[in-house]
């Protein structure tokens, strides 16, 4: 740990991360197409002096709309709305390198950076969802190797276009995937250009993050795994001539908070009762690339599910999520002498590959402090179970605890996201 304060972003996943977020929120389904809804979440986050507003993207139907409406609006449109409703909050949008054009994306995000006064960042990801591929006219999603080959060049091209805006120079990019000559019509934003975030957990994703990213959205379930991943990415960064603090490691943290521990547990159980075990079985099975429905819930967890993938490059889902969950379940099996059941696994890991904390505000603050001080995280991407209540209790009850412990700011002191994240190398490179 070398940063003075923890970084805290809120990851706005439609009505919340919980599969029962619609019921927990008490909001109508069409809320997810309301600009006022997203703007209000931004105002709550800014009231808590959070660092940034983070949006995922998936240009296809992914959730069961009978249970969860899914995020329906395009990310940069939402972020422009949030920018108008806030003055300091960072704006991080996920946009795929698989299904976008680098020139159009560079101009779109630099425009958002100008309009927001230097608060924008791009979460660069590849897309593995076959449904999204079909929407873009593909019969199959490109292989992992193909996606990351394109992603590396895509990020380089966008970065060159942004740096050309700062330097006032044309670029001449000729690569395997893109040929680009010229420059954007925009000049530099107040922070030079948007930051880059990366969310891939595969070896290829970590390499891309260490080489290019200002922040990494990671998925780690245990403190030991968090420390290991933290060091891996920091070492990759230094191997590319960057400082360790040039890339912030920000694991996802699912929060289910009550005023007391018992209240938080009751909130969690209410959501589970709403969904039933089949939902969690299917969600965990999708992460592990194995159909878990035929197995008995109260039998020991089937060892074959955790076996190494025969062809990791052909695996279409997230390797980072799978690695995180396989390690977590393996640890539990070892700790129980092989008596760990499938029912226990879905209760603990049915939310996917991110760490989950169920508890009172003090317990949530304890987890954040432990990971930050142990060198497992520079901060977190917070994933409340449901909006807006899950964010409000964090802002009103967890943030004051972190402030008393000297871990979080009392007010904003920087005007741009780059200054807040403390990217010294980037500030020097983009100074105008």
Token pair in block for residue 190: 């107040």
Distance of CA 370 to the CA centre of its chain: 20
Rounded to a whole number, what is the largest CA-CA distance in the chain?
65
Mean pLDDT of 182-207: 90
Are 231 and 213 contacting, i.e. CB atoms less than 8 angstroms apart?
no
Average confidence score pLDDT of the chain: 88
DSSP 174: E
**Binding site per annotation, positions for FMN:** 57, 94, 148, 202
pLDDT recorded at residue 426? 42
Mean pLDDT of 20-30: 88
Q: Give the residue carrying structure tokens 């997230």.
A: 318
Global pTM exceeds 0.75: yes
CB atoms within 10 A of CB 349: 23
Higher pLDDT, 229 or 135: 229
Higher pLDDT, 330 or 43: 43
pLDDT recorded at residue 101? 94
Describe the crossing of helices 319-335 and 277-288 by its angle, rounded to 10 degrees.
110
pLDDT band at 432 (very low <50, low <70, confident <90, very high): very low
54: pLDDT strictly greater than 90: yes
**Of 60-69, 319-328, 390-399, where does the model show the most confidence?**
390-399
Helix ranges restricted to H, 302-421: 319-335, 342-349, 361-374, 389-393, 399-404, 417-421
Are 372 and 1 contacting, i.e. CB atoms less than 8 angstroms apart?
yes
**Of 22-36, 199-213, 349-363, 393-407, where does the model show the most confidence?**
393-407
**Binding site per annotation, positions:** 57, 94, 148, 202
Range in 104-113, 147-156, 183-192 with the lowest mean pLDDT: 147-156
Provide the CB-side half-sphere exposure for 267 (13 A, CA). 24
Mean pLDDT of 167-187: 95
Mean pLDDT of 359-386: 97
User: For the segment 109-127, what is each residue's pLDDT rounded down to a tens digit?
Assistant: 999 999 999 999 999 988 7
Query: What are the residue ranges spanned by the domains of the chain?
Result: 7-255+356-430, 263-348
How far separated are the first and last CA of the chain, in Å rounded? 30
Are 181 and 103 contacting, i.e. CB atoms less than 8 angstroms apart?
no
- Helix (H) or strand (E) segment spanning residue 68: none
Token pair in block for residue 269: 């159980």
pLDDT recorded at residue 176? 94
pLDDT recorded at residue 365? 98
pLDDT recorded at residue 45? 98
Mean pLDDT of 413-420: 94
* Reported CATH class of domain 7-255+356-430: alpha beta
261: pLDDT strictly greater than 80: yes
Helix ranges restricted to H, 26-139: 35-47, 75-85, 102-115, 130-135
Write b or e for each residue in 273-311: b if 16 or more Cβ atoms lie within 10 A of its Cβ, otherwise e: ebbebebbbbbbbbbbeeebeebeeeebbeeebbeeeee
pLDDT recorded at residue 424? 42
User: For the segment 298-337, what is each residue's pLDDT rounded down to a tens digit?
Assistant: 999 998 888 877 666 666 667 777 888 888 898 899 999 9
pLDDT band at 427 (very low <50, low <70, confident <90, very high): very low
237: pLDDT strictly greater than 70: yes
69: pLDDT strictly greater than 50: yes
Cβ neighbourhood burial of 169 (10 Å; 0-12, 13-18, 19+): exposed
Token pair in block for residue 214: 């200002």
Are 388 and 31 contacting, i.e. CB atoms less than 8 angstroms apart?
no
Mean pLDDT of 367-389: 96
User: For the segment 72-103, what is each residue's pLDDT rounded down to a tens digit?
Assistant: 789 999 999 999 999 999 999 999 998 899 99
pLDDT recorded at residue 354? 86
CB atoms within 10 A of CB 334: 10
Rounded Cα–Cα distance for residues 274 and 253 (Å): 22
């Amino acid at each position: 740990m070398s940063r003075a304060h923890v970084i805290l972003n809120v990851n706005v996943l439609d009505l919340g991360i919980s599969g029962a977020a619609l019921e927990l929120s008490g909001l109508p389904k069409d809320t997810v197409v309301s600009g006022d809804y997203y703007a209000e979440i931004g105002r709550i986050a800014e009231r808590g002096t959070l660092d940034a507003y983070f949006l995922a993207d998936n240009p296809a139907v992914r959730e069961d709309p009978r249970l969860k409406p899914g995020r329906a609006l395009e990310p940069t449109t939402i972020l422009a709305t949030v920018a108008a409703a806030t003055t300091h909050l960072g704006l991080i949008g996920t946009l795929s390198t698989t299904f976008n054009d680098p020139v159009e994306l560079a101009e779109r995000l630099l425009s958002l950076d100008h309009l927001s006064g230097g608060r924008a960042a791009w979460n660069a990801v590849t897309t593995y969802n076959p449904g999204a591929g079909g929407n873009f006219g593909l019969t199959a999603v490109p292989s992992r190797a193909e996606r990351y080959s394109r992603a590396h060049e895509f990020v380089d091209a966008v970065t060159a276009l942004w740096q050309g805006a700062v330097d006032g120079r044309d670029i001449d990019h000729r690569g395997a995937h893109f040929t680009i000559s010229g420059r954007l019509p925009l000049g530099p934003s107040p922070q030079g250009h948007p930051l880059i975030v990366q969310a891939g957990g595969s070896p290829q994703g970590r390499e891309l993050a260490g080489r290019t990213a200002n922040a990494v959205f990671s998925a780690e379930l245990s403190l030991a795994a968090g420390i290991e991943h933290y060091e891996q990415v920091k070492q990759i960064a230094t191997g590319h001539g960057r400082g360790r603090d040039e890339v912030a490691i920000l694991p996802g943290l699912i929060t289910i908070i009550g005023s007391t521990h018992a209240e938080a547990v009751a909130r969690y159980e209410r959501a589970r009762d709403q969904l039933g075990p089949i939902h969690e079985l299917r969600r965990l099975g999708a992460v592990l690339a194995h159909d878990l429905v035929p197995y008995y819930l109260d039998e020991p967890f089937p060892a074959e599910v955790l076996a190494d993938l025969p062809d990791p490059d052909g695996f279409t889902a997230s390797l980072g999520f799978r690695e995180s969950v396989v390690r977590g379940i393996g640890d539990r099996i070892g700790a129980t002498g092989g008596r760990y059941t499938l029912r226990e696994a879905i209760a603990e890991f049915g939310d996917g590959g991110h760490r989950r904390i169920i508890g009172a505000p003090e317990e949530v603050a304890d987890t954040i402090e432990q990971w930050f001080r142990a060198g497992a995280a520079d901060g977190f991407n917070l994933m409340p179970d449901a909006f807006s209540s899950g964010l409000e209790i964090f802002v009103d009850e967890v943030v004051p605890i972190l402030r008393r412990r000297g871990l979080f700011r009392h007010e904003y002191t920087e005007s741009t996201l780059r200054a807040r994240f403390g990217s010294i190398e980037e500030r020097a490179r983009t100074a105008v």
